A and B are shown apart, each in its own frame.
Chain A
Amino acid sequence: MEFWVHVLNTVLIFTMLGLSLNLVLGFSGLASMAHAAFFGLGAYSAALLSSRLGWPFPIDLAAAMLITAVAAAVAALPALRVRGEYVILLTLALQMLAYGLMLSWVELTGGRTGLPGIPRPVFFGWKLVTPLDFLPLTAISAALTFLVCQRIANSPYGRVLKALREDETATLALGKNVVGFRVSIFAVSGGLAAAAGALFAHYHAFINPFSFSLDQSIFLIAIVTLGGTGNLLGTVVGASLFVGIPELLRFLHLQQDIVAPFRNLIFGLMLVAFMRFRPQGIIPEYSGLGRKGRAAGSRVSPLGNLVRAGGKNLVAMGLSKRFGGIQAVKGVDLELHPGEVVALVGPNGAGKTTIFNLLTGFLKPDSGRVYLNGEDISALPAWQRARRGLVRTFQDVRIFQRMTVLDNVLVAIPEQCGESLFNLFFRPKRVATDEVEARLLALNYLEFVGLKAETNVLAESLSYGEQKLLALARAMAVGPAVVLLDEPTAGLDPQWVTRLLELVGRLRATGCAIGLVEHNLEVLRAVADRAYFLEAGQVVAAGRPDELIKDPRLSEIYFGL
């Protein structure tokens, strides 16, 4: 009997580990190889604080969580600012470092022989000794961990994490502080893993480094991946199956040194097989299990309320950019004013998209400055420019494929209360009311572009034209003062083009300043108030489209000499 309870306790502790890893691996798409290190850091911290300094049970656990959360955030910081493979590399090095320290810092950790004599927790005079004693504690801890992870996953904060995972560039363009989100989720994940570690330490009353090795990190990744990344229930299933069954096999008194490698062999093979044939895992992310919050009855408010009141002036001076031997942009000056649609026109390769990238902060210019309503934003990164109302769309659309249409727009809405972890847990009422308002807002935008019927559909199943409209709704949801549309009508059938142009017109009517790159000259004539004519990275002419078209010099440039 006690044996079954022990298995259950182990499953519960590993469930906590799996859930916390899923936050990083599944929801954020970051392959952390250091989860066992965080598990171990929590275990050793709690063990040392309780046995050497005499700290009582829940206090040492809390301290272990805090220490590990901070360590996780600091250690991972440089990698989180750059690309995917760096996270793998840095966390791998971190894992090896931690393990190495556990083995070699003998005075602190006891080295290979480990730390014995970890005190048992005492609750109101009742000492937890047997597995059965521990069961309520582990069960409650696992449940709490699940609730915390669920709260995070289904929140505005979780939405941003998923968007990050889908397309980091597009998320930056919405004004989200990508690095901030990544660091905070790493900290949370590390802290929860440490809680599991502290429990583990007190449960076994003895720890040694071998529970916190790279193999363990890989095993945890396997549990989460096989169970289903991005799905918490999947992790519960994964932990139950993949931890429970091998533990039960011990019951059959199989040779200990055979069980572990056989288990790992099978899991390794399963991981390969799943990645090939069922990468979404046992329970996929969108399994239709309980999507909360159906679209409430809608209320169409006039668009003026939706968009930030009034636009801003965008001024660029002397922008230049060179790529290797090619001068892509040279000394470009331009201005966008509120309530105006300004087009950038020119042959292919004239530098139009490069200029957009320079204006929005996705590329650093070699020289030149950008001003938004007089404020010099040249040094600001892309996400901060977006927060000031400078918003863009992309030539290659870049919607968040594995999120619903509604979530695509919801995530764009700025200053959401629920994007802060503090608010999520300490101001739930404000987050809830804020979310209701945000939903209504998002639905209004979807109605504006005509996608209201598709709210709960995954974005990847939309047609190309619908995806472009979704991208527009998403850009509008940021509440832009200036919108830069990169080839908005490219690849669209004529009726979609008309639709899009109508929307652009309505957007202009709200006072927004609109810039667009456009190749379709019919569109240009229909919607642009002014145009800049670019050639080989320089502005060659500026003025109203019908005047420009009459200019023979421009005809030469556009159609060649």
Chain B
Amino acid sequence: MNVELLAQLLVNGLISGSFYALVGLSWGLIFATTKIFHFSHAFTFAAAGYGFTLAATAGLPLPVSAGVAGLVGLGFGLTQERWLYRPLRRASASQLNIFLASLGFLFAGQSLLQIVFGPSARRLPGFTEIGVSLGPVAFTHLDAITLAEAAGLSVLTLTVLYKSRPGRAIRGVASNPELARAVGINDDAVFSLVFAIGSLLVGLASVPYVLRNAATPTMGIGPVLGGFIGVFLGGIGSYGGMLAGGLILGLAENLGGLFLPGSWQPVIAFVLLFLMLLTRPAGLFGQATR
């Protein structure tokens, strides 16, 4: 066993795992609170990524462009809650139909991005990654940013959820939606709030992704799928579990590189999900009662 290789893969796994953890938390928060399988979250990611690219190409400093990405995400997220999901909820649409509508919105949104920006990848000119070495392990400054962003935003989100009143209301709605209504919590407001938070997070998450890879219309699918898998691996009932699930996925995909060539990563994701569903559908940290 090559220890240096192992260490490198661990670091890589941690970095990509932190990305999945953040994306997973952003989606899982919405799902746990609203029970909506918000598939078009992938569109929010992509739109925010393009927002960042436009802003950066227009010359805005990177942190400001990142802010733009967050705002774009926030905007599209709130739009979807208000104009896509809320009317369906009022019309008592079935879970399946709500999912299909989300699918349609994603399909339309991606196509719109493709029409406006073209299908080919849009790279950000003039951005190069700076390598860093820490003993046997090498990574780039972008990797460090990814990890720091994920860690920072996760801590921030958990703080909001556990230490603020709106956060408590969100957790209340997730825990017992009927009682939440009975004590006077406005569930429309809470729904908007989680969509806002989740979409802001995913918008910000798109920034390091776009810097590393280029922006394409369908770029949201891969990350969000990784997020889904992380959430279900960890278990929907626990926010910490969602984060852990993402980390586990990242680590597994990279450690799998010991045995499989790099392009086989989707295999690992699928196998993990498959095994989990077979043995413990509630997730590693979830409770079986739901």
Contacts and interface: CB of A to CB of B under 8 A. Distances in A.
Contacts of B277: 78-79, 81-82, 86, 90
B263 interface: yes
Contacts of B98: 275
A279 B93 contact: yes
Interface residues of A, number: 50
A272 B101 contact: yes
Interface in B112-131: 112, 114-115, 118-119
A97 B104 contact: no
Interface centre among A219, A263, A276 (most CB of B within 10 A): A276
B45 interface: no
Contacts of B229: 89, 93
Interface string B62-105: 00000000000000000000001001100101111111110111
Contact of A221 (B103, B108, B114, B264): B103
A467 B40 CA distance: 38
Contact of B107 (A75, A82, A262, A264): A264
Contacts of A221: 100, 103
Contact of A272 (B94, B108, B281): B108
B115 A93 contact: no
B114 A261 contact: yes
DSSP majority for the A interface?
helix
Interface in A261-306: 261-272, 275-276, 279
A31 interface: yes
A419 B47 CA distance: 48
Contacts of A89: 228-229, 232, 273
B267 interface: yes
DSSP majority for the B interface?
helix
Contact of A271 (B101, B115, B273): B101
A84 interface: yes
A93 B269 contact: yes
B273 A267 contact: no
Which range contains the number of B residues in contact with the other chain? 35 or more
A92 B277 CA distance: 14
Interface in A141-179: none
B103 A92 contact: no
A96 B232 contact: no
Given A88-B99, A93-B225, A78 B104 contact: no
Interface string A74-112: 010111011011101110111011011101100000000
A536 to B, nearest CB: 21
A218 interface: yes
B162 interface: no
B195 interface: no
Nearest to A219: B107
Nearest to A104: B263
A271 B104 contact: yes
A41 interface: no
A183 B181 CA distance: 39
Contact of A92 (B95, B96, B100, B228): B228
A96 B221 contact: yes
B134 interface: no
Contacts of B108: 264-269, 271-272
Contacts of B84: 272
A494 to B, nearest CB: 32
Contacts of B106: 218, 268
A94 B265 CA distance: 12
B281 A86 contact: yes
A148 to B, nearest CB: 24
Contacts of A276: 87-88, 91, 93, 101
Contacts of B270: 90, 93-94, 96-97
A275 B104 CA distance: 9
Given A96-B266, A100-B263, A261-B114, A78 B278 contact: yes
A294 B222 CA distance: 51
A97 B266 contact: yes
Given A104-B264, A265-B115, A31 B107 contact: no
A225 interface: yes
Given A93-B273, A96-B222, A100-B263, A88 B107 contact: no
Contacts of B274: 75, 78, 90
- Nearest first, the 5 A-B pairs at minimum CB distance are A268-B108, A271-B104, A268-B107, A78-B277, A104-B263
Interface of A: 29, 31, 75, 77-79, 81-82, 84-86, 88-90, 92-94, 96-97, 99-101, 103-104, 214-215, 218-219, 221-222, 225, 257-258, 261-272, 275-276, 279, 323-324
Given A261-B115, A264-B108, A268-B105, 8 more contacts: A75-B274, A88-B99, A89-B228, A97-B267, A261-B111, A267-B104, A269-B108, A271-B108
29 contacts: A77-B278, A84-B95, A86-B277, A86-B281, A88-B39, A89-B273, A90-B273, A96-B222, A97-B269, A97-B270, A100-B263, A100-B266, A101-B266, A214-B221, A215-B110, A221-B103, A222-B103, A257-B118, A264-B110, A265-B107, A265-B115, A271-B103, A271-B107, A271-B108, A272-B104, A272-B105, A275-B98, A275-B101, A276-B101
Interface of B: 37, 39, 84, 87-88, 91, 93-101, 103-112, 114-115, 118-119, 218, 221-222, 225, 228-229, 232, 261, 263-267, 269-270, 273-274, 277-278, 281, 289
